Amino acid sequence: MTTLISLHKAVCVLFLGWLLSGGAVSAVHAAAEAIAVPKLPDFSAQYVLKRNGLTLGNATRSLRATKDGKYVFQSVTYATGMIAWFVKDRIEERSTWTFNGEQVRPLEYVYDRHGGKKTRRVKLAFDWERMTVTNNIDGDPWRMDIPADAQDKLLYQLAIMQDLKNGRDSLQYNIADGGRLKNYEFEILGEEMVNTPLGKLKTIKIERLDDKRDTTVWCAPSLNYLPVRLEQEESDGSHLSMDILSVKGLPAR
């Protein structure tokens, strides 16, 4: 169970932000110039998760648009194979969000861990008029102030991929998590070709600046900067990895 939780955290270190294809005029600058807001296609991507070369489970990421113009970005992590006999936990995250101009903005974030011996449910509700977020952890709510660029710990990954698409070289994000704001910063290392089940893909290699662990992610421009590989070196020497298996809704160009 602990192994799956640590694996889930590794997956969430970064990943799935991406997918900005096309655009429609949906906002107006103060100078009355219309700006194009990207329309994101529905998609799903599946990954295999390993620790020190041993397959532990799968992770699925998906995005869908709702009828009221919002989006739902979801992550599901679960054990597979022999590990599934011992680890029954299933971890689901869901971020409901919308655009604020060209930027993604969270409305609600839900974390749900169930299936094993322990359960945990976390819900964050963002109030952008009051500039606060209400945290409800296992039925115990409380509130804190947030800045205008605050993200939840799932949606910021989408913001990263949007910034890569827009050519930005500064990747810094304020994440509402664990009752406080955390600052995540990433460095762009350059381009690299990566072999995947989808074929050989050109990627942008980025690294999180973190003293506790080394995390590197490879994002494919041909898949709207979808992450296709993640590697993490823990402080105890353990090696965690996530590699793409399949994707629907984002055909390589």
pLDDT in tens, the chain (253 residues): 555 555 555 445 434 333 333 332 233 233 323 345 557 889 999 999 999 999 999 999 999 999 999 999 999 999 988 887 888 889 999 999 999 887 899 999 999 999 888 899 999 999 999 999 999 988 888 899 999 999 999 999 888 888 898 888 889 999 998 788 999 999 999 999 999 999 999 999 999 997 678 999 999 999 989 999 999 998 888 999 999 999 999 875 5
d(CA 122, CA 86) in angstroms, rounded, equals 24
Q: Tell me the whole-structure pTM to 2 decimals.
A: 0.82
Residue 153: which of 16, 30, 37 has the closest Cα? 16
Instruction: Copy the structure tokens of residue 227.
Output: 């992450």
Q: Name the helix (H) or strand (E) containing 10.
A: helix 2-12
148: left (phi over 0), alpha (psi -120 to 50) or beta: alpha
